[in-house]
């Protein structure tokens, strides 16, 4: 059950961090809080993860009872604000206690037995490439959305009947709701900008993508699959597509996720299946902050036919050499040296 609870945390983080993989560059500050009712094998009751963009920069759990940095550039925060870590540690301890109480209340509301249950909070603000701002404040129970804050109306949106009780209570807390709105649109953005300035060497750097196209032929119908691989880029926001005659082409295309490399950069791939006669109509189009101009990589003339011919020719040559070796081995055998005949003769 500990593995299940941990996987819920991982899935939640991965899903949210993937939301801004494409389009104009943006920056975000996200916090993920998870309370677990009955952890086992040392799993903490409560965990808080803080991310700037997709980089884990702070961590708290109920075992250590301490908010700690996870990147070297966060040392600058403590130097400028000596009480930063103590203040945030106390805030997480208060959140931990609040999560324990809510887990018990929700278990009773759902009429559930004791066992593994999870209560999660996701808070995020985003500074987008066009200078617009976004943000959300959301809760989840058992890995599913429970209730979400609408900062335009200062009300809560319930996702199921059990959440209606919470909605009625929280909608009446106008002062608290006004604080959440001001936090998402003000304080959160201010801290995001501070963190970006502290970690600008890594968070604001750009690494251009390396784009390559590889091909393979599907022998049964003569169609070709071409894979465009985009590697080594940062930040993770990227716009990549297959184009036909200069227009984005979605038919018979597939793509993978934007995934991290060991050095902190990212990689991505997208494939297309086409008629080889139309090969020169297609290009892999890539746009990224690391590129001065969009990159278009054409499909190279396929050498698959030549490769197949060479392979077949090579097999024939190997068979011929093997046949010659077998023949001379038999000729050089003891029975042949004694003049014995290889088979019946006819007179």
**Does the pLDDT at position 1 exceed 50?**
no
Mean pLDDT for 183-211 is 96
Mean pLDDT for 40-54 is 91
Mean pLDDT for 10-35 is 66
pTM assigned to the model: 0.74
Look over the chain and give the mean of its residue pLDDT values, rounded to a whole number: 84
Mean pLDDT for 141-154 is 97
**Does the pLDDT at position 7 exceed 60?**
no
Mean pLDDT for 274-293 is 95
Q: What is the pLDDT of residue 323?
A: 52
Q: What is the pLDDT of residue 301?
A: 66
Residue with the bigger pLDDT between 293 and 15: it is 293
CA angle 231, 256, 268 (to 5 degrees): 10
Residues 6+ apart with CB under 8 A from 93: 65
pLDDT tens column, 284-339: 999 999 999 999 999 986 544 434 444 444 444 444 444 544 444 444 544 444 44
Confidence label for 216 from pLDDT (cuts 50, 70 and 90): confident
Residue with the bigger pLDDT between 5 and 268: it is 268
Q: How far is CA 270 from the centre of its chain?
A: 15
Q: What is the pLDDT of residue 129?
A: 74
φ and ψ of 341, to 5 deg: -85, 150
Residue with the bigger pLDDT between 303 and 236: it is 236
Q: 35-74: buried (b, 16+ CB within 10 Å) or exposed (e) per residue?
A: bbbebeeebbbbbbbbbbbbbebbbbbbeeeebebebebb
């Amino acid at each position: 059950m500990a593995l299940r609870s941990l996987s819920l945390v991982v899935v939640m983080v991965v899903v949210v961090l993937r939301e801004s993989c494409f389009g104009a560059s943006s920056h975000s500050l996200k916090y993920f809080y998870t309370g677990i009712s009955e952890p086992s094998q040392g799993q903490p009751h409560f965990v808080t993860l803080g991310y700037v963009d997709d980089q884990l920069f702070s961590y708290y759990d109920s075992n250590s009872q301490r908010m700690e940095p996870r990147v070297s550039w966060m040392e600058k925060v403590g130097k400028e604000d000596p009480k930063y870590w103590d203040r945030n540690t106390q805030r997480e301890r208060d959140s931990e206690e609040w999560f324990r109480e809510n887990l018990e209340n929700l278990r009773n509301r759902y009429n559930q037995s004791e066992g593994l249950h999870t209560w999660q909070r996701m808070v995020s603000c985003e500074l987008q490439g066009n200078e617009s701002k976004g943000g959300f404040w959301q809760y989840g129970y058992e890995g599913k959305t429970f209730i979400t804050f609408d900062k335009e109306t200062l009300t809560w949106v319930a996702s199921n009947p059990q959440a209606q009780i919470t909605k009625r209570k929280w909608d009446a807390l106008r002062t608290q709701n006004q604080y959440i709105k001001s936090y998402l649109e003000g304080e959160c953005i201010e801290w995001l900008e501070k963190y970006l300035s502290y970690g600008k060497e890594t968070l604001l750097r750009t690494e251009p993508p390396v784009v390559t196209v590889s091909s393979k032929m599907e022998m049964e119908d003569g169609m070709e699959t071409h894979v465009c691989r985009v590697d080594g880029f940062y930040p993770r926001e990227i716009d990549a597509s297959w184009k036909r005659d200069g227009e984005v082409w979605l038919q018979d295309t597939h793509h993978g996720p934007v995934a991290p490399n060991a050095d902190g950069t990212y990689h991505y791939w997208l494939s297309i299946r086409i008629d080889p006669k139309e090969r020169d109509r297609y290009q892999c189009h890539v746009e990224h902050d690391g590129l001065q101009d969009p990159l278009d990589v054409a499909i190279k003339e396929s050498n698959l036919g030549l490769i197949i011919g060479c392979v077949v020719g090579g097999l024939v040559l190997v068979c011929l050499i093997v046949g010659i070796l077998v023949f001379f081995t038999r000729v050089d055998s003891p029975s042949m040296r004694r003049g014995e005949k290889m088979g019946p003769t006819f007179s």
